[in-house]
Structure formats: C-alpha cells, structure tokens
Structure 1
Amino acid sequence: MRRWPLVPTVIVGICVAVMIGLGLWQLLVRLPEKEAQLAQLAGNPARPPVAFPSVPDDRLLFRRTSAMCREVGGITRAGAGNAGYRLIANCRAGAEGPGIKVQLGTTRDPTKMVRWSGGAVSGWISHAPDATPMIAKLFSHVPQPMLLVADQPAPGLEANTRPDIGLVPNNHLAYAGQWFFFALVAAVIFVIAVRRRHAAPASRRT
C-alpha cells in the first residue's frame, strides 16, 4: 500500500493555508476598513470645497473641488456604464508637479469628440479610470489616481452623473468567499488525486 505523499501534502497545505489567510484578511481587515471609509465618504458631498489633491487621497472622494487647467494635453474616452462614454481631458495645472484629469461630460456616441481649451473648472473628486487587473489590485498598495468630475459639461456633452456613494465598490466579502472557495477546491482536488493514485495499483491487480 502506498504511503500518503508527504511533500505534496505539505505544499498543498501551505497553499490552502495562504488562501484561507487571505480570505480572513479580506473578511476581518479589509471589509471593516471599507465600511468605515464608506461611512466617512457619505458626508463628503456636503462638506466645504477643497483644493484638488496633488497626490491621491481616497478620504477626499466626492468632496467639492476646483482647479485650473492651463493646457489640455489630450482628451481620452472611457466607459461610463449606462451613460455610454465619458470624455476625460489630461491637463497641465502648473509649471511643475503632476497634471490633473478632468471628466468633461458623457455621450452615447462612441465616436464623439469635443474641443475644450481648458480654464477654471469646478466639480467633485472621484477616481480616474484604472486598467489594473482585479487580481493585481488585491496586492497593490499604489493609490488609484484622482479625477475632477466637472459639474458643468463641455459643449456637446451630457452632464456627468452626480456623486453616488453606491457606486463605490465594496467587494471584500466576495473576495473572502472566493479565497475560501479556492482553498476548498484545492484541498478536494488534492485528496481525489491521491485516492486515485492509491487505487490504481489495486485495480491493476484485479
């Protein structure tokens, strides 16, 4: 009778333990953090305006803000859900320092483009589009860039959607469930594989 494979068992056991640990981290650490953040953000639209942040700061999401776009470096397009597409201007705000991104408005026309020469713009603070894969975000500590969502659309565009706390994702409970599921699947697959390996010699003898 074959012995239970020790080394593979240790390796799989470590992997399962890591996945369970990640699930507990999402459930016990990240979920309460996000719930506390959402509670704080809920009051931000009614708070006094602030200068547009020079570095990302999620505590300022949905705060009223204003900035000066001194030069438009280009306008890009990003998805806007049911609103279609949003047009985002890349602006130079000063001689030095990082630029700012300004969401000019939305359109349902996938080919729509506008001319916008910059200037003073007001609105609220949001997150800029981010193409980082979901899995990478789980381990990334790089803050997501900020976006100034204009309260007055550029000519030819629809108005931007008003701030909505419900649009801020809170997926940490789902992430925890995924890690627990992955751990269970890995353990079950390993046990089945070992049992089949042990059963193979007996079937050949018969």
Structure 2
Amino acid sequence: MSRLGLTISTVIVGGAIAVMIALGLWQLERMAWKNALLERYAAAADQPAITYPADGSGESLPLYRRSSLDCAEVSGWRHEAGLNADGAVGYVHVADCRRIEGDAAVEIGWSRRPVAGTDWQGGTVEGTIGPDVKYGVRLVADAGLEGLETSAVPSPEAIPNNHLSYAIQWFAFAAIALIIYLLALRRRRKEQA
C-alpha cells in the first residue's frame, strides 16, 4: 500500500470512528432527554384531571393525565393488540369519536375477540390519556364499556429507554474499528520488514 493509500485509509477509518463516537454521544443526549420526559410523564398521574385536548399533536402531549370527554358519535372502529388490566394479551377496541371540539379516540375496553364492543354509540367517558397513532392521544376508559373488560392503564413504564445501550454499542463499534485498523497497520509493517 502506498503512502497515499495509507493516508486515505487513515482518513476514512478516522472519519468513521469520529462518526461512531458522535452517534454514541448523541445517544447519551437522547438518554438525558428521555429521562426528563419519563419523569414528567410519571408525575402526570398525580396531577389533577385536565380537559381533553382538542389537538393531540405537538411536543408536550398531555399523556398519562386523567381526563374525560363526550363522544357525540362513533365514526369508526379500530381493533388493536393490547393488554387488559391484569396484563393478559388480547385486543383493545378503539372508537373514533366525533366531538364539537374535534375528533378523538376512545379505547372502550379489552377482549379476547378481535372485533367486539361495536354496539357502543358514544357518551361521556372518564379515563387516562395515552398515546394514539391516528390522533396523537386517546382516552383509555377507566372501566370496560359495552361488556368489555378494562384495558391496561397507559403507563410511561411501557416506553423503552434504551439509549444507554445504543451509546455503548456505538462506542464499542468505534473501539473495534480502531483495533482492527491498528492490527492491519501492524500486519502491514511486518510484511514490509
């Protein structure tokens, strides 16, 4: 390998190692952000109930807060894999609701059947605000409606916080790349000797 080839290889490997270290540091920053978010969510359970949000988007969703809403009309249904209050796996049944304040989602309960609870026509529901793919947030009813069992209460404990392990992986990749490159340089020197 020529001196130019060695220089190019060193720059490429050095750049790759720098990127891996930067990604590890970024994961550590994400870990600090996630810890603060999880602390805020954990404190939400002890806060007073709030008015259900008209808009479930944005940075500071009111997740894990107590709330209530009035579902004027059910406009559709979603049936998703989920847990009941005892942790059993089955299906949660989510009503898409029309309201004066804007559309919302209400998880009315849990069952072992993939489609259930669709006779529910709406009404006032009290519960806990949890995440929802369609609207950003959904209200999970305190008790199962329309003959369904109670769904698991949304909890921030279900949110993974694995940024430390990702950071360690990136730092390990950087160390491995450095070791392999140093071994390759050592082998090159032996072959040239």
**When the two structures are superposed, what TM-score results if normalisation uses the length of structure 1?**
0.72
Other-structure match for 1:77: 79
2:151 to 146, 151, 160: 160
Equivalent AA in structure 2 for residue 87 of structure 1: H
Deviation at 1:78, TM superposition (A): 2.0
1:87 to 83, 93, 114: 93
Matching of residues 41-56 of structure 1 within 5 Å: 41-53=41-53, 54-56=55-57
Distance 1:185 1:92 in 2: 56
Assess, with a 3 A threshold, how the Cα gap between structure 1 residues 13 and 89 changes in structure 2: closer, same or farther. Answer: farther
Contact 1:85–1:107, Cα closer than 8 Å, also in 2? yes
Assess, with a 3 A threshold, how the Cα gap between structure 1 residues 23 and 154 changes in structure 2: closer, same or farther. Answer: same
Distance 1:156 1:186 in 2: 59
Distance 1:68 1:161 in 2: 21
Total equivalences in the alignment: 183
Contact 1:128–1:146, Cα closer than 8 Å, also in 2? yes
Deviation at 1:153, TM superposition (A): 1.4
Distance 1:74 1:163 in 2: 22
Contact 1:37–1:59, Cα closer than 8 Å, also in 2? no
Distance 1:87 1:2 in 2: 67
RMSD over aligned Cα atoms: 3.1
Deviation at 1:49, TM superposition (A): 0.8
Assess, with a 3 A threshold, how the Cα gap between structure 1 residues 92 and 175 changes in structure 2: closer, same or farther. Answer: farther
Other-structure match for 2:68: 66
DSSP-derived class of the 1:169 partner:
coil
2:104 to 80, 100, 103: 100
Equivalent AA in structure 1 for residue 12 of structure 2: I
Unmatched 5+ stretches in structure 1: 131-143
Assess, with a 3 A threshold, how the Cα gap between structure 1 residues 104 and 2 changes in structure 2: closer, same or farther. Answer: same
Distance 2:79 2:173 in 1: 36
User: Normalized per residue, which structure has more strand?
Assistant: 2
In the alignment, does 2:171 pair up with 1:170?
A: no
Deviation at 1:124, TM superposition (A): 0.9
Deviation at 1:188, TM superposition (A): 5.2
Other-structure match for 1:13: 14
Deviation at 1:159, TM superposition (A): 0.1
Identical positions, percent? 39
Unmatched 5+ stretches in structure 2: none
DSSP-derived class of the 1:43 partner:
helix
Other-structure match for 1:151: 142
Deviation at 1:120, TM superposition (A): 1.9
Distance 2:138 2:179 in 1: 45
Contact 2:64–2:154, Cα closer than 8 Å, also in 1? yes
Deviation at 1:85, TM superposition (A): 2.0
Distance 1:128 1:32 in 2: 24
DSSP-derived class of the 1:13 partner:
helix
In the alignment, does 2:115 pair up with 1:112?
A: yes
Equivalent AA in structure 1 for residue 97 of structure 2: C
Other-structure match for 1:139: none
Distance 2:42 2:175 in 1: 37
